Chain A
């Protein structure tokens, strides 16, 4: 079954702790994205990657880091520098890198502060 798998579904972070959210896709998509969704706000882009070993900052990259060592995987680390990490995090991927292909989303990870 092709798709985008995000894990874990729920995650709790303690003060001063870094946590990593997993995103794996088996769609052979080129580009991958991380978004943050807060109540009453549109999705905001954190980081994106169009090719292995390369990634770009989005609109709200501060306090986050990513890696793209494999085409299928794009993990997101929420560092202790992110002071307001409680949100719903969505990973997306798409074929190609231009605007002529839609993005497809995973089912998200909900991160909360302990």
Chain B
């Protein structure tokens, strides 16, 4: 079983739709959960960073972590064409003083005007 599973899509939605992006993981030691947005030919940009189970909201973006189910989500409300990008989920933990970071493969999202 892979440590992090992320549906690669592609996902295509109309402008204004609510988008749900998800990742599952198998390593219960993961403590920190991140979502990055990556535009074509650019580096990943940090969108959300969470530690505990529950929801964290930032503008149109909500990150949700369910540690009991080993499941994280990113919701985008009122999606815009500028949200078209690849979204990466990333999880990390500290083991023996060093960080272990695992990236999902990314979900490609297109928001159509």
- Interface hits, A85-114 → B, CB 8 Å: 90, 92, 97-100, 102-108, 110
| Other-chain contact of B8, A4, A40, A99, A106 (Cβ < 8 Å) | A40
Interface magnitude class on chain A: 20 to 34
In the complex, A45 has a CB within 8 A of chain B: yes
In the complex, A43 has a CB within 8 A of chain B: yes
> CB-defined interface of A18-56 with B at 8 Å, one 1/0 digit per residue?
000000000000000000000011110100001000001
Chain A residue with Cβ nearest B42: A107
Interface magnitude class on chain B: 20 to 34
Decide if A42 touches B43 in the complex (CB within 8 Å): no
Decide if A105 touches B94 in the complex (CB within 8 Å): no
| Other-chain contact of A108, B34, B42, B49, B88 (Cβ < 8 Å) | B42
Residues of B within 8 A of A104 (CB): 46
Instruction: Return B97 CB to nearest CB of chain A, in Å.
Output: 8
- Complex CA gap A2/B49 in Å reads 20
Residues of A within 8 A of B32 (CB): 99-100, 102
Residues of A within 8 A of B41 (CB): 107-108, 110
In the complex, B66 has a CB within 8 A of chain A: no
Residues on A close to B: CB < 8 A?
A: 4, 6, 40-43, 45, 50, 56, 90, 92, 97-100, 102-108, 110
Q: Rank and list the top 8 A-B pairs by shortest CB-CB distance, nearest first.
A: A105-B43, A42-B103, A99-B92, A99-B94, A43-B103, A107-B43, A42-B105, A99-B99
